C-alpha cells in the first residue's frame, strides 16, 4: 500500500514521520516522490498535476476540515471519496477562539483598551447577558461544541443551518427564509459555515445590516463568506461595533488590505483551529485500515453539497 502526502512545507517532515509510524504496513512518500501506484492521497492544497500521478487512488484525505479549495480543483478525480478531518483537535481550539472573542466583546475589552490609552478611569454599566444573544451561523461539529461552551456562560444562543437541526439549549433557525430573524437577534454573530456556492458572499451589506445596531462579528470559517467592502462599511457607519477575523479571501492577507489597520477589526492569521498532526494522523490511519477491509468511514464529503 502506498500513501502519497502533500502538506504545508513547514510541517511536511512531521506529517511524514507521524503517518509512517501510525501506518507501518504502508509506504509513505511526499510529493513529488510518487514512483508507483498510489492507493491513498493525504493532501493540503495540492498542485493540480498531483492527481495525474494517482490514477487508481482509492480515497483522498483532506488535511483539514474545510474542503472548499480541493472541491474547486478541476483535476480532482470524480468518483473518488474525499474524506475530511473530523475534529482532529480543532473543536477545542475553536471553542477557545470563539469564547475569547465573545467574552472580549461582552466585557467591552476594546472600549477599556481605548480608555487605558487615554488614561481614563471610567466604569461601564453592567450588561445583562439576556440582552447579549449569540448567533451561531453553522451548527456542525464545531458549532455545536461552541454552543455547549457558551451555554455555560449564560449567553442566550441561537443557531442557523441550511437544514433544521435540534441542539440542546439553542434556538435553531433554518434556510434562507429564517435567516433575517436569526440575524436580528444576534448581538454577536459567529460564522462557522463551510464555504460553498450557497454561502460565498452570504454576509453582504443587507445581511450585516440585519444584525442589531452595535453587533459584533466573528468569522473563523472562510473569508469568502464575507463581502469585505460591506464589512468595512458596516463598521465605518457604526452599525457594527467590531469584527474578529481569522480567515480571508486571500491568505496571507495582502499587506495593503484595509482590514490590517482598521480600528474595529481584530485579525489573526488563520490560527483559530489548526489541524493537529498527531490526532489527524491517527484518524487517517484508522480510516485507511477500515477502507482496506471494505468498511464504511465517516467524514466523506458530499460533493453535491460541497462539504
Catalytic residue status for 6 = no
Q: Which of 113, 198, 229, 300 binds its own copies (CB under 8 A)?
A: 113
To its own copies, the closest distance from the beta carbon of 60 in angstroms equals 25
Give the binding range for its own copies (CB under 8 A) out of 29-37, 59-67, 102-110, 164-172.
102-110
Task: Pick between residue 196 and residue 283 the one whose CB is nearest to its own copies.
Answer: 283
For residues 184 and 202, give the distance between their C-alpha atoms in angstroms, rounded to a whole number: 15
52 interacts with its own copies by CB under 8 A: no
To its own copies, the closest distance from the beta carbon of 159 in angstroms equals 20
Task: Pick between residue 36 and residue 152 the one whose CB is nearest to its own copies.
Answer: 152
45 interacts with its own copies by CB under 8 A: no
Q: Of 110, 239, 270, 289, which residue is the catalytic one?
A: 270
Task: Pick between residue 145 and residue 221 the one whose CB is nearest to its own copies.
Answer: 145
- Say how many residues touch its own copies, by CB under 8 A: 41
279 interacts with its own copies by CB under 8 A: no
Q: Burial letters for 117-137: b for 16+ Cβ neighbours within 10 Å, e otherwise?
A: eeeeeeeeeeeeeeebbbbbb
300 interacts with its own copies by CB under 8 A: no
Cβ pair 77, 46 in contact under 8 A: no
13 interacts with its own copies by CB under 8 A: no
Task: Pick between residue 55 and residue 119 the one whose CB is nearest to its own copies.
Answer: 119
122 interacts with its own copies by CB under 8 A: yes
Give the binding range for its own copies (CB under 8 A) out of 34-42, 56-64, 186-194, 266-274.
266-274
Q: Which of 268, 298, 300, 305 binds its own copies (CB under 8 A)?
A: 268
Nearest Cα neighbor of 156 from 188, 133, 182, 137 is 133
Q: Which of 24, 55, 121, 163 binds its own copies (CB under 8 A)?
A: 121
Phi/psi for 175 (5° steps) reads 75, 170
Q: Of 6, 16, 216, 222, which residue is the catalytic one?
A: 222
Contacts of its own copies in 139-198 (CB under 8 A): 149, 152-154
Catalytic residue status for 257 = no
263 interacts with its own copies by CB under 8 A: no
96 interacts with its own copies by CB under 8 A: yes
Task: Pick between residue 10 and residue 56 the one whose CB is nearest to its own copies.
Answer: 10
- SS in 3 state form for the chain? CEEEEECCHHHHHHHHHHHHHHCCCCEEEECCCCCCCCCEEEECCCCHHHHHHCCCCCEEEECCCCCHHHHCCCCCCCCCCEEECCCCCHHHHHHHHHHHHHHHHHCCHHHHHHHHHHCCCCCCCCCCHHHCCEEEECCCHHHHHHHHHHHCCCCCEEEEECCCCCCCCCEEEEHHHHHHHHHHCCCEEEECCCCCCCCCCCECHHHHCCCCCCEEEEECCCHHHECHHHHHHHHHCCCEEEEEECCCCCCCCCCCCCCCCCCCEEECCCCCCCCCHHHHHHHHHHHHHHHHCCCCCCCECCCCCCC
Rg for the chain, CA atoms, rounded: 21
For binding to its own copies (CB under 8 A), which residues are involved?
A: 92-93, 95-97, 99-100, 103-104, 106-107, 109, 112-113, 115-117, 119, 121-124, 126, 149, 152-154, 251-253, 255, 260-261, 266-271, 274, 276
Query: What residues are labeled active site?
Result: 222, 270
Amino acid at each position: 500500500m502506498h500513501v502519497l502526502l502533500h502538506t504545508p512545507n513547514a510541517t511536511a517532515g512531521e506529517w511524514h514521520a507521524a503517518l509512517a509510524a501510525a501506518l507501518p504496513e504502508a509506504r509513505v512518500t511526499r510529493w513529488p516522490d510518487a514512483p508507483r501506484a498510489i492507493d491513498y492521497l493525504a493532501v493540503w492544497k495540492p498542485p493540480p498535476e498531483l492527481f495525474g500521478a494517482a490514477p487508481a487512488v482509492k480515497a483522498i484525505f483532506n488535511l483539514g476540515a474545510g474542503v472548499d479549495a480541493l472541491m474547486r480543483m478541476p483535476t480532482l478525480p470524480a468518483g473518488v471519496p474525499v474524506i475530511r478531518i473530523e475534529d482532529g483537535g480543532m473543536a477545542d481550539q475553536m471553542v477557545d477562539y470563539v469564547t475569547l472573542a465573545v467574552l472580549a466583546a461582552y466585557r467591552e475589552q476594546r472600549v477599556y483598551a481605548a480608555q487605558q490609552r487615554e488614561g481614563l478611569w471610567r466604569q461601564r454599566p453592567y450588561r445583562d447577558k439576556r440582552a447579549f444573544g449569540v448567533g451561531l451561523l453553522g451548527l456542525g461539529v464545531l458549532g455545536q461544541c461552541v454552543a455547549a461552551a457558551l451555554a455555560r456562560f449564560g449567553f442566550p444562543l441561537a443557531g442557523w443551518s441550511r437544514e433544521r437541526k435540534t441542539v440542546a439549549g439553542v434556538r435553531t433557525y433554518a434556510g434562507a427564509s429564517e435567516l433575517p430573524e436569526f440575524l436580528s437577534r444576534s448581538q454577536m454573530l459567529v460564522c462557522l459555515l463551510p464555504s460553498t456556492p450557497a454561502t460565498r458572499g452570504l454576509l453582504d451589506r443587507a445581511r450585516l445590516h440585519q444584525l442589531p445596531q452595535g453587533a459584533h462579528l466573528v468569522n473563523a470559517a472562510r473569508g469568502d463568506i464575507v463581502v469585505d467592502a460591506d464589512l468595512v462599511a458596516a463598521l465605518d457607519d457604526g452599525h457594527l461595533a467590531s469584527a474578529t477575523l481569522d480567515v480571508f479571501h486571500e491568505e496571507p492577507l495582502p499587506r495593503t488590505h484595509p482590514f490590517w489597520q482598521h480600528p474595529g477589526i481584530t485579525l489573526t492569521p488563520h490560527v483559530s483551529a489548526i489541524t493537529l498532526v498527531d490526532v489527524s494522523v491517527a484518524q487517517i490511519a484508522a480510516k485507511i485500515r477500515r477502507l482496506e477491509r471494505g468498511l464504511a468511514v465517516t467524514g466523506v464529503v458530499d460533493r453535491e453539497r460541497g462539504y
